[in-house]
Each structure stands twice: as C-alpha cells, then as structure tokens.
Structure 1
C-alpha cells in the first residue's frame, strides 16, 4: 500500500454478512491489512457463497476475530468476556506449535458472542478497538457497496448495499 495509497475498488470475501451489511472477516487470519486495503478503496464489493448470508451475525459464523499485540494477548483475553460477555480464546495454529500469527506477526483472539441477541455492532467495535493492545477487529460496518451471493444452483444475487441503507 505504500506506493498505491488509493484504489478504485476492493473485492474480497466475507465469513458472514448480515442484513445490515455488517461483515465478519478475518477467519483466514488477515484483519488489519484487509481493513487498510478496504479503507483505501473508493468501492468495496464482497463476493460470498450463500451460506455466508444471514439475518444477524452469529447465525453461520460463531466468533469475531480480533488482532492483538502478543504482549497484550493475556490482558485482552481476560477483559473481553468481562466487557462484552461470551468467551475469548487465543487461536492456535494447526500445522505448527503455538498461536496463529497474522501477516503483521500479531496474535488472533476469537471472541465467541451470545447468539440471537440484538447488538449495536458499532458500539462493540468501538469498545473492543479501544482496548489496549487490540490492533483491529474482524467487524466491517457500513463500508460495503455491493454484495454478491452465489447459490448452489448457479444463480447469483446482487445487492446494492448503498441503496438499502
């Protein structure tokens, strides 16, 4: 991004998209950089299979990834359930010993939240992001322009999020 501070378009996937176009991203371990790229783009399009479409977050994806500085991981693990409820755990690597590292060499904490409960995701994002040691969350709120959902029968549903708001 150093040489290209502005992009025409960012096209990416999502782990879950709710009816208000709030996204959970970062299941693959890239959080802060994905948000930086999205922020640099004039337009943001999301492409996902229909299993990622939900009425409210948590229907299909069980947690919010949170990128944290390694030094702060234990502190965030303790404070997150106290401030937001649910549970938090450090994401451990599968093919190596130790925690998963982001592309910035930070850790990922997966926050599992209570399902079927109305939430103000903007407020939650703000509180979590202001926790010392948190780099970024996997919540993308109010930033998507269009979403494309692909269905098993080959059909694609296009939703213009800017017209829905």
Structure 2
C-alpha cells in the first residue's frame, strides 16, 4: 500500500495534469459543442476543476458513475450516447500508456462505452498521472479487461487460456457477491499478460474473434490524439504535433 508521501506525490501529479488540461480545453477547444466524458477518478477531478468549461457543452457520459457526478455538480446537459453520432471532443483517463501511445483502459469497467465514444470523436484527449505512463514500446503492466456475454463466459475463459497471451480471471465484485456486471449487463474478464505485447491492435483483433467477446480495453494509438501526463512538478504532453514538458 502507498505511504502518505507517495500518495501525496501522485495526487499532486493528477492536479498538475488537470490544471494543464483545463487550460488546454479553453485555449484549443472552446468551440467544442458536444463533449464525450470518460470514467474514473482523474476524469472526475478534471470535471470538478474545470466545471465552467463543461457547463457550456452537451455532455455525453460513458457510464452511470460519470452521469451521477455530472448531475451532482449541476451539469444537467448530459445526453444518452445512443442518440449522438458525432462528438467534437472526448476526454478520459487511462490505466496504462505506452511510449507508442497505445492505451489499456477499463479498471472502472466502462471501456465498451468509452471506446464507443472515442471512435465517434474528432479529438481524443487522455489525462493521467505519471504512474500510468511507461514510455515502453509495448503494453504489459496492466491486465487487459475484456467485456463478455455472460452465457459465454466459461467458453471465453477457456479460449483465452488456449491463446496463450495471458491468464484470464473473471472480475468479482467487492460490494456484492458474484461477478462485476458492467453498465451493459455483461461480465468482465481481466487478461493478465504473460509477456509484453508490441502490437496491441493485433491482439485486440485476435481477442475480438473469440465468440462471446464484445470489447477489449485495448485502445490503440489511432484512438489517441493527445495525452497529458501529470508529473510531480509539471506535465508532459504527448501526441500528434506535441511533446515535451511544461
């Protein structure tokens, strides 16, 4: 478990990332009308710190949790994702970011809806702290979440074992007995990698071919435009036509 000093450093990094991201939103995306909003603690912090920016937009939340947070702040302009075709800007966090900007997402269990918003968005921005950025040319650190139709879960787990990329484990709830159930009514299997994966898109495509698999938490770099990495004393900005520290 992190000691208080380490926790404080990470929290400061998150604050730095959110401060920069908030300024960047006003400077670069002030004309964005429809904004997709991801799930997670860093996203919530950004929404809270940059509430005025979100007040003026049509918001498309990726989860019930995000919707409830928006409503708690008086941001009542959220719409159902099913009714939106085009999104100007998508904002989210990530669990792992490689040096090639391939992402692993889904510890919050909302990755299917998050990806659905990301693929519809013109610009995708992710805000993370430095512990999420590996700088490596592969993904490996975090398990790959996989959303699975409940009736096929045993079959999927067996097939994932046979593929040999990792060890599958059905995600179990902590606030209730039994498996975690996504907002879509499905189960989540966490696929702990046994070796680094240098071509995440290829692995994603392989996993999607398994009957019963609906979506994976691999977000390849073609779904990433900018990543703001909060550090203890600043930020690192990565992505298309970006780079460096501020």
Whether TM-score is above 0.5 comes out as yes
Matched with 2:215 is 136
Q: Which residues in structure 2 correspond to 1:3-152 (within 5 Å)?
A: 3-54=83-134, 55=136, 56-59=138-141, 61=142, 63-115=143-195, 117-141=196-220, 142-152=222-232
RMSD between superposed Cα atoms in Å? 1.5
More helix by share: 2
TM-score normalised by length of structure 2: 0.62
Q: TM-score, normalised by structure 1?
A: 0.91
The structure having more radius of gyration, on CA atoms, is: 2
Structure 1 residue runs of 4 or more that deviate by more than 3 Å after TM superposition: 161-164
Question: Whose strand fraction is larger, Structure 1's or Structure 2's?
Answer: 1
Aligned residue for 1:2, secondary structure, equals helix
How far does residue 162 in structure 1 lie from its aligned partner after superposition?
Answer: 5.9
Distance 1:67 1:118 in 2: 20
Gaps of 5+ in 1: none
Q: Is the 8 Å Cα contact of residues 89 and 110 (structure 1) preserved in structure 2?
A: yes
Change in 2 beyond 3 A, CA 1:158/1:106: same
- CA drift of 1:4 comes to 2.1
The answer as to whether partners of 1:21 and 1:161 remain within 8 angstroms in 2 is no
